Amino acid sequence: MTETGKGQATLDGVISALRAHESFVMVSHVKPDGDTLGAGLALGLGLQQLGKRVAYFNEDPVPRNLCFLPGAGDVRRDLGELPDGTMFCFFDMSDVARAGPYLPPFDAAHTLNVDHHLGNTRFAALNYILETEASAGAVVLKILEALKTTLTPQIAECILTTLMTDTGAFMHSNTTPAVLREAARMMEAGANKERITQEIFANKRFVAQHLMGAALARMRFDAEAGVVWTVVDAAMLAACGADSEDTEDIVQQLRTVDGCKVAVLFKALEPGEVRVSLRSNGEVNVQSVATRLGGGGHFRAAGCTVSGSLDEGIAAIAEALRAEGVASSAMLAPA
């Protein structure tokens, strides 16, 4: 391969490597969202147009609300035997650990890292990171254009899904004129915006809405600090008949509270572990908060996992927020 190393690859270097390989694995991150899946599926569909062999890996099942994506049914944990020299392509992950512990063995010399995160560790032989893009899928679109593949309705559906996922259905501040132009072009190519909206943002299970109500009933607000938070534990899931997928929209709902600067969802679903989702309304860099505790993400959306009890997890987040200039003594007060 050309241009190996920790730096930024050129687009020409990426295209040369893709054309030189015949077998690929598209790798999306654990607990996949519409950006990581859509980006990998889009590039895979484009490479298949060129006669390449493509497999799709994720250690977790495809979420219910993303099963509509073209090619989603081909995503597997067990890929079987792969040809020597198979190129592994990673999408929307700042570190290879985000691929999970079940990632098949691969040759580090044959790797491509496609992302838009500010804190990407550039872990691959080829790293194509465009931090100004709204989604990893938008980066893939540039690659597909350079490959001169056909923008089919299926590829357009995947790319539009990435844009809608990472802009919050075009409601976040990263919804630039360029993003809207790209979205319009995907719709002109056959992407069904209404279907994407329904599947990702609207079609919620009854038990998920029941869980939402339970989580909002536990919601707390430190108006002075601008922090809104709540907790979901295993007992709540059981009482509602819900599962961890049904927690995905809760933190976004917290973020809509008037006066909220930071929204935090604490998920105490396994003993000794607290998973934390953070959202910002623009004043606080929650990526920095999560990074302090071994996590990551974006300025406005990030997450991490804290070892210990729920109280210890809340205390750790309160301290990390304090380090970012957000002091909420109320988070440490008894509920």
Let me know if residue 317 belongs to a domain.
yes
Q: Give the pair of three-digit tokens for residue 318.
A: 């309160």
For residue 268, the model assigns a pLDDT of 96
Instruction: Please check whether residues 81 and 219 belong to one and the same domain.
Output: no
Let me know if residue 2 belongs to a domain.
no
Range of the domain at 218: 206-332
pLDDT tens-place string over residues 277-297: 999 998 899 999 999 999 888
Give the DSSP H or E segment for 287: helix 286-291
Let me know if residue 1 belongs to a domain.
no
Instruction: Please check whether residues 261 and 122 belong to one and the same domain.
Output: no
- CB contact set of 81 (below 8 Å; sequence gap of 6+): none
Instruction: Please check whether residues 94 and 155 belong to one and the same domain.
Output: yes
Does 181 have pLDDT greater than 90? Answer: yes
Q: How far is CA 151 from CA 38, 128, 253, in A?
A: 14, 21, 35
Q: Which of 143, 166, 201 is the last residue of a domain?
A: 201
Q: Which of 167, 201, 235 is the last residue of a domain?
A: 201
Instruction: Please check whether residues 248 and 284 belong to one and the same domain.
Output: yes
pTM, rounded to two decimals:
0.89
Instruction: Please check whether residues 227 and 305 belong to one and the same domain.
Output: yes
pLDDT tens-place string over residues 58-80: 999 999 999 999 999 999 999 99
Let me know if residue 119 belongs to a domain.
yes
Instruction: Please check whether residues 184 and 219 belong to one and the same domain.
Output: no
CATH at 328: 3.10.310.30
Instruction: Please check whether residues 175 and 53 belong to one and the same domain.
Output: yes
Let me know if residue 183 belongs to a domain.
yes
Does 208 have pLDDT greater than 60? Answer: yes
Let me know if residue 6 belongs to a domain.
no
Compute the Cα dihedral for 96, 97, 100, 103 and give only its sign: positive
The most distant pair of C-alpha atoms in the chain lies apart, rounded to whole Å, by: 61
Whether the Cβ atoms of residue 87 and residue 17 lie closer than 8 Å to each other: yes
Instruction: Please check whether residues 180 and 210 belong to one and the same domain.
Output: no
Instruction: Please check whether residues 120 and 240 belong to one and the same domain.
Output: no
**Around 241, how many Cα atoms within 13 Å sit in the side-chain half-sphere?**
5
Let me know if residue 4 belongs to a domain.
no
CA dist., res. 68 & res. 62, Å (int) = 10
Instruction: Please check whether residues 213 and 73 belong to one and the same domain.
Output: no
**C-alpha angle 14/20/21, rounded to 5°?**
95
Instruction: Please check whether residues 63 and 185 belong to one and the same domain.
Output: yes
Per-residue DSSP letter, 202 = I
Q: Which of 201, 236, 257 is the last residue of a domain?
A: 201
Crossing angle of helices 153-166 and 136-147, in 10° steps, is 150
Instruction: Please check whether residues 61 and 197 belong to one and the same domain.
Output: yes
For residue 23, the model assigns a pLDDT of 98
Whether the Cβ atoms of residue 86 and residue 25 lie closer than 8 Å to each other: yes
Q: Which residue from 140, 23, 125 is spatially nearest to 79, judged by alpha carbons? A: 23
Let me know if residue 3 belongs to a domain.
no
In the chain, the number of structural domains is 2
